[in-house]
Structure 1
Amino acid sequence: MPLNLLKTIIPAGIVLAGSALSAMAGPLMDRIEAGEPIRIGFSNIPIFGYPDESGAPKGFVNDIAIGILNEMGYDNVEATVTEWGGLIPGLKANRYDIITGGLYILNSRCENIAFSEPIATTGDSFLVPAGNPKGLSNYKDVLASDGAILALYSGANTVEAARREGLSDAQMMQLPGPTETLAAMRAGRADAAALTSFEAVYLADQSEGKFETTDPGALPEWTQNWVGVGFRFEDEDFLKEFNAARERYLGSEEMLAKVKEYGYVEANLPGDTTTEWTCANR
């Protein structure tokens, strides 16, 4: 069940609702014309989408989605936290009108829901000591460097990527999460850490200058992913409006200032990549 949130007015004019999950017939525009709020469903995924202490939606995906809605003139928004696995089923069951929270645009998902045009590219990057003394920017660099150890989260996509690029288990230090990874880097037990670019930037910012991040573009193209906002197919007309407003808002000074706190920078803008291409190639 979604986490119940107290109804609160926050500065952006967003109404956070509790369990307003009753399914209502009709597309999103019908709801808006009837004075109903736009219902956003999201999950608790740090950096991408999560609730703050008051339950308000935070994370760069939520901020961008809400910024686009504001650009369209909509500020009557109702946000509900739910489990990750309930996002797409909840959208299809008409519990939500939009879903956010770091959804990669993937072929399997494109068969079930409609996506906005991409709002971010999220590739991975390496966290390395300041100055990157061993010149480790990608998996091949680690492979070629004598004795270099790469830290990764156990079970993360980066483990599979490292193996695909030829690294042996002996060259990888698999750890539970960011705390252990940062500890291994600080202790010099690992020479680099493979993370999402957002996590790498966050950890570098917390390191007091001890670490820096590498360019996500230094890793193979197939490790790059694109993030979108999910809609029902029935709301195609609204989605067209949303995409038009996205063109105006995405990459603006206002938007980049809003998401700076999450480590989103210009390099994370999706460029000319389209949802059609992403659905076919991811």
Structure 2
Amino acid sequence: MSFKTSALRVGALSSAALLALTACGGDNGDDNGDAVSDEDANVEQGEELTIEEGETLTVAIAGEEPYSWLDDDGEATGAALALTEEILGEQLGYDVEAELTDWDSLIPGLNSGQWDVVAAGMSITPDRCEQASFSEPEIMYTTAFLVEEGNPYDVHDFEDLAEAQEEHGIEVVTLTAGVEAGYAEEVGVDAEGVGSAEDGVDFVEGGRADVFALTAISLEAMAGEMDGLEVTENFAHEVSAGSTVFRFADDELLGEYNDVLADLKDSGELLDIIGEYGFTDEEIPPAELTTEELCEGDIEALNEQYLD
């Protein structure tokens, strides 16, 4: 078996083109002006892209530490990618090639055939479950805010953000397609969307925003030691877990992936793999938590069962 752990390509479609693809379902141009075929555009409606054992799988990553990003040498790395490489590469015998794209393009690019799998620590939500298939839960998430040092607006959860925005007009940013955008909307916070975690950090560092809401472990990894900035204490707005994403048509591959993932959970190897990137027992999903539950989206029941 040939196994490439650091192969990297640049995403072929711009986020704007991919978003238009999923919104309209018609032909769209890519970065080079090439049209996306009707066959590619309709993959999510059931047009199969067959995957044979031993062939190369293109895995989309996004620039968010510690899930998947490019290190200082330009190499693809991260906990989500390492887990996908272990399961798809080492255990199932595929070649794995990482491809960097922005967050908003992950699922549209998957369904248009630009890549075969998404390894970006993506949270499992009912809306996303209508667009693609998720493996069983791999990592649990909590949220934190990146703020000016001293947390001048005293914000510690989304309800605090709503109050601070009403009283002081603070500027809040989230990933455009991140779960934090939905949390903010739920409580009436007007948040601006950004395409990557790095953009969100830059907004706060540059004074263009007062708060960037993101998963706590990402903020600690990316900005926990930045001068003049502070990451608030993590909190759980609701039960949130993420996993690897597949096309609906690739249910056989998903089943194989889940079988290996279950073995890694049972043996404790899951923590060994993601622990190298700062994850702890607290981020390992409860054994009884399932993707089916998260896709159904009964948040009150999930919170009652899984949150302290």
Q: TM-score, normalised by structure 2?
A: 0.59
**SS of the residue aligned with 1:202?**
helix
Instruction: Determine whether 1:227 maps to 2:250.
Output: no
5+ residue gaps in structure 1? 1-8
Question: What residue number does 1:4 align with?
Answer: none
The equivalent position to 1:152 in structure 2, one of 168, 172, 188, is 172
Output the CA distance in 2 between the equivalents of 1:173 and 1:56.
30
Question: What residue number does 2:263 align with?
Answer: 245
Output the CA distance in 2 between the equivalents of 1:207 and 1:18.
30
Note the 1:68-147 alignment, pairs <5 A: 68-69=87-88, 73=91, 77-81=95-99, 84=105, 85-90=108-113, 96=116, 98-111=117-130, 113-128=132-147, 135-144=154-163, 147=167
RMSD: 4.3
Question: What residue number does 1:280 align with?
Answer: 296
**In the superposition, relative to structure 1, how do residues 16 and 183 fare at CA in structure 2: closer, same or farther (>3 Å)?**
closer
**SS of the residue aligned with 2:57?**
strand
User: Structure 1 residue 68: deviation in Å?
Assistant: 3.9
Output the CA distance in 2 between the equivalents of 1:40 and 1:173.
31
User: Structure 1 residue 233: deviation in Å?
Assistant: 1.0
**In the superposition, relative to structure 1, how do residues 128 and 281 fare at CA in structure 2: closer, same or farther (>3 Å)?**
same
Q: TM-score, normalised by structure 1?
A: 0.63
Asked whether the equivalents of residues 80 and 121 of structure 2 are also in contact (C-alpha less than 8 Å), the reply is yes
**SS of the residue aligned with 1:216?**
coil
Question: What residue number does 2:226 align with?
Answer: 207
5+ residue gaps in structure 2? 11-47, 299-308
Question: What residue number does 2:80 align with?
Answer: 61
The residue type equivalent to 1:180 in the other structure is: F
Output the CA distance in 2 between the equivalents of 1:141 and 1:18.
41
Output the CA distance in 2 between the equivalents of 1:281 and 1:147.
32
The equivalent position to 1:177 in structure 2, one of 182, 200, 207, is 200
**SS of the residue aligned with 2:63?**
coil
**SS of the residue aligned with 1:100?**
strand
**In the superposition, relative to structure 1, how do residues 270 and 152 fare at CA in structure 2: closer, same or farther (>3 Å)?**
farther
Higher gyration radius (CA): 1
**SS of the residue aligned with 2:261?**
helix
Aligned pairs, number = 243
